[in-house]
């Protein structure tokens, strides 16, 4: 079956609109920003996101965030860098494995330990201080990349959640690329915008550039579109007909989708 090539700009508009209206798959939208426990201080919110997001890879996100909520409820000290660095490695390993269930436990413990040291030494233990270094988003993202495991995917994901959660006003936001995962690449391929769903560096970069260009052209922030695209890819209905799936997931009710020439 030859798949239609849908217009990236129209997709951005339709997906973002459905997300904002909580239609279809977005009726119960849950992103990382929505998992923060209630009644936290500003710094506690930032720390919660900092420690959970760095483990949000190669694992079930909902299980990770539910576990993080339980850990906060019963032992919130595990989101304090000073406390983490005082813990015996075996105890820290046991706690992270039991509550958060990351796929690579040794790497998880390494990240929490190394990144706690950096956070204390350079940012007084407060992730928000990273974002006070400059008004330029590009400066901030380079600082984020200095933490262990905070590369173009996790680092940009963390950037997005902090900016959204605290409604930060930064320059050059439109120049920061989305944190692309397997769901984003698959959907972009199914909609005919790329020729393969392989997670090669070149293909991932192409996906990032497609959505950056489309978001900028229709003046919609990637900070919102990225949240919607992730839910659509991870939670949406999926058959062998991507166009029908999109109509169902967004409740388009037969609205005709435009294709690229």
Average pLDDT over residues 37-59: 93
**How far is 79 from 207, CA to CA, in rounded Å?**
34
Average pLDDT over residues 247-255: 84
Instruction: Say yes or no: 73 and 162 in one domain.
Output: yes
Lowest mean pLDDT among 23-37, 87-101, 137-151, 155-169: 23-37
* Residue 233 structural domain: 8-29+176-249
**Domain endpoint, select from 121, 149, 172:** 172
Number of domains in the chain: 2
Instruction: Say yes or no: 121 and 36 in one domain.
Output: yes
pLDDT attached to residue 253:
77
Do the domain assignments include residue 2? no
195 SS3 class: coil
Instruction: Say yes or no: 181 and 160 in one domain.
Output: no
CATH number at residue 52: 1.10.340.30
**How far is 112 from 99, CA to CA, in rounded Å?**
14
Instruction: Say yes or no: 119 and 136 in one domain.
Output: yes
Alpha helices of the chain — where are they, by DSSP H? 8-21, 42-53, 61-75, 81-86, 89-100, 105-123, 137-144, 154-166, 182-190, 201-217, 222-235, 242-249
Q: Could you tell me what percent of the chain has a pLDDT over 70?
A: 95
Instruction: Say yes or no: 90 and 198 in one domain.
Output: no
Instruction: Say yes or no: 242 and 161 in one domain.
Output: no
Do the domain assignments include residue 220? yes
CATH number at residue 244: 1.10.1670.10
User: Residue 6's beta-bridge partner residues?
Assistant: 259
Q: Which pLDDT band holds residue 62 (cuts at 50, 70, 90)?
A: confident
Do the domain assignments include residue 83? yes
As given in the structure block, the two tokens for residue 253 are 């009710």
Name the DSSP class of 259.
Answer: B
Nearest residue to 144 (alpha-carbon basis) of 49, 255, 215: 49
Q: Which pLDDT band holds residue 260 (cuts at 50, 70, 90)?
A: low
Do the domain assignments include residue 254? no
Global pTM reads 0.91
**Sequence-distant (≥ 6) Cβ neighbours of residue 164 within 8 angstroms:** 33, 223, 224, 227
**How far is 220 from 11, CA to CA, in rounded Å?**
11
Instruction: Say yes or no: 141 and 62 in one domain.
Output: yes
pLDDT attached to residue 57:
86
Report the mean per-residue pLDDT for the chain: 93
pLDDT attached to residue 30:
84
**Domain endpoint, select from 151, 172, 193:** 172
pLDDT attached to residue 2:
45
Average pLDDT over residues 199-208: 95
**Domain endpoint, select from 115, 148, 172:** 172
pLDDT digits (tens, 9 = 90+) for 170-181: 999 999 999 999
Instruction: Say yes or no: 43 and 166 in one domain.
Output: yes
Any idea how long the chain is?
261
Task: Please state, in angstroms and as integers, the Cα–Cα distance from residue 134 to each residue in 80, 123, 140, 217, following that order.
Answer: 25, 13, 7, 26
Instruction: Say yes or no: 117 and 236 in one domain.
Output: no
**How far is 77 from 84, CA to CA, in rounded Å?**
8
Do the domain assignments include residue 46? yes
Instruction: Say yes or no: 144 and 195 in one domain.
Output: no
Do the domain assignments include residue 3? no
Phi-psi region of 45 (alpha: psi -120 to 50; beta: other; left: phi over 0): alpha
């Amino acid at each position: 079956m030859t798949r239609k090539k849908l217009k990236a700009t129209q997709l951005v508009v339709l997906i973002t609109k459905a997300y904002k209206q909580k239609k279809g798959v977005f009726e119960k939208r849950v992103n990382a920003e929505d998992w923060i426990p209630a009644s936290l201080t500003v710094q506690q919110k930032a720390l919660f996101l900092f420690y959970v997001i760095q483990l949000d890879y190669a694992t079930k996100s909902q299980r990770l965030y539910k576990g993080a909520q339980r850990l906060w409820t019963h032992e919130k000290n595990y989101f304090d860098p000073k406390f983490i660095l005082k813990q015996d490695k075996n105890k820290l390993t046991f706690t992270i494995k039991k509550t958060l269930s990351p796929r690579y436990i040794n790497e998880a413990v390494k990240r929490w330990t190394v990144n706690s040291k950096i956070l204390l030494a350079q940012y007084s233990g407060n992730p928000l201080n990273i974002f006070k270094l400059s008004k330029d988003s590009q400066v901030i993202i380079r600082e984020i990349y200095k933490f262990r495991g905070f590369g173009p995917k996790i680092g940009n994901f963390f950037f997005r959640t902090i900016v959204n959660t605290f409604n930060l006003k930064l320059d050059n936001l439109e120049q920061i690329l989305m944190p692309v995962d397997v769901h984003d690449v698959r959907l972009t391929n199914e909609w005919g915008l790329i020729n393969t769903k392989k997670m090669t560096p070149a293909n991932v970069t192409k996906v990032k550039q497609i959505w950056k260009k489309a978001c900028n052209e229709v003046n919609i922030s990637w900070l919102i579109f990225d949240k919607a695209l992730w839910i659509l890819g991870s939670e949406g209905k999926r058959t062998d007909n991507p166009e029908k799936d999109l109509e169902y997931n967004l409740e388009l009710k037969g609205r005709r989708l435009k294709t690229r020439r």
